[in-house]
Amino acid sequence: LGTVLGVLLSLNFSALAERDAKLPIPYEDLQLLSAVFGRIKSDYVEPVSDDKLIHEAINGMVHGLDPHSDFLDADAFKELQVATQGKFGGLGIEVGVEDGVVRVVSPIEDTPAFRAGIKTGDLIVKIDDTATRGMPLSEAVEKMRGKPGTPIVLLVVRKDVDTPITFNLTREEINVKSVRASMLEPGYGYVRVRSFQERTGDDLARAIAGFYKQGDLKGLVLDLRSDPGGLLNQAVAVSAAFLPKDALVVYTDGRSPDAKMRLTASRENYQRRGDDMFRDLPAAVKKVPMVVLVDGGTASASEIVAGALQDHKRAVVMGTQTFGKGSVQTILPLSNNTGLKLTTARYYTPAGRSIQAKGIEPDVRVDDGRDSPNRIREANLEHHLQTPAAAGATTDSKIAKVEVDSAKPLPKLDAAALAPRFEFGKLPEDFQLVQAMNQLKGQPVNGAAKTLRAEAKP
């Protein structure tokens, strides 16, 4: 019991006491926790280590807050570093946990998972012969990672498919390039941001400079579809490339002073050292006509960019409603190379909109048929934060759960039977991109006869 209480008291209780001296210590609840700990230690059918019990107690406490808060052990810290640097060996899937099962947040373009047709919202119920229900996320990620060239089998449950789907994949070295750029036709540039990593702003600056070496731009498409987000300062950088200097990009609000920030399109908010990465770009990039493409997989940092460009009327946002993750997570270091990824603030667009559990509504709606009504968004996740206006209101936003009976064999559908995934940015197969080009050229936009959003007021 002394061990449990000692660990609990070490988790920054003293720091919390300094912030709020009136915060009562829940002695009775701690006694209950220690009683449960003692009973498990003495009566559980098998011996359980103190370390396991304490970590599971912490995980339960954190996971009950919201879908994005998490306890980070040493391995999780490494994963966090990999995610921001963009290089690892595996399948190319960003994953989370939904109802105890591994859920695909977003497949990464040009990876084994993406090419095979794995989609956002898929539930990975088996990795090789091991069921994932109840499996820690770090263990699931470790099983999917591996030496390039080695095979792996994933069993996936999908909302709009009656039978589980079997994916036979081969691991590759995943070296994710966050920015991909091309000239669609003379005068019209295309930039796709797959995720926001440490060098996203630098890569974007090079892409824009490359366009202008070929001549002036008549229009630009910024593609944020299925971009799961990433580093906040890089979202500010991408926005700053197209907004006037010092224009407000995003502001955050939380309980602590550190959670209250106003981030503008100025170098100190997106670049720690050196000259401004956008210093030598032509001034015309601030005024070139733009379309921003979004969909249900556009989340977090990518929603910040879309919201900022939309509120400043700098670009037309086109596509379908975005994911709706409007919260900020802060990494708080703890002892023994562990940490806490804690939701510390909500973020707001320049016009004061909180998109938490709502998402960004496009100015022009263009649906290419990929956006299934069963697609998982922030509002479908358990324990998601409510928007401030909806705080305390009752809501029934949970989607129907996919029940998987591990004791009963299920028929399997091979992934080869599914329609192949199209490639973002490839004309003319990319219907939404075709409509974006029509918008830039002043031509009719198919499936977008109605403007869905009123003009934002500053």
Is residue 311 part of the annotated active site? The answer reads: yes
One-letter identity of residue 357: A
User: Rounded to whole angstroms, how far apart are CA atoms 198 and 235?
Assistant: 10
Report DSSP letters for 343-408, one per residue.
EEEEEE-TTS---TTT-PPPSEE---S---TT---GGGSTTPPPPGGGTT-----PPPP----TTS
Q: Which helix (H) or strand (E) holds 67?
A: none
Buried b (16+ CB within 10 A) or exposed e, 27-42: eeeeeebbeebeeeee
Parallel/antiparallel/unpaired status of strands 339-348 and 123-127: unpaired
Q: Amino acid identity of 376?
A: I
Out of 300, 302, 327, 354, which one is annotated catalytic? Answer: 300
Catalytic residue, chosen from 119, 126, 325, 341, is 325
User: What is the distance between the alpha carbons of residues 322 and 310, in angstroms, rounded to a whole number?
Assistant: 13
The residue whose two tokens read 């091991």 is 130
> How far is 312 from 111, CA to CA, in rounded Å?
35
256 counts as catalytic: no
The angle that helices 232-240 and 301-311 make with each other, rounded to 10 degrees, is 30
**N-term to C-term CA, the chain:** 56
Backbone CA torsion sign across 363, 387, 119, 92:
positive
Active-site residue, 275 included? no
For residue 332, what are the β-bridge partners?
340
Distance between alpha carbon 51 and the CA centroid of its chain, in Å? 30
Query: Would you say 217 and 103 are in contact if contact means Cβ atoms under 8 Å apart?
Result: no
Give the active site residue among 311, 363, 368, 430: 311
Residues known to be catalytic = 300, 311, 325
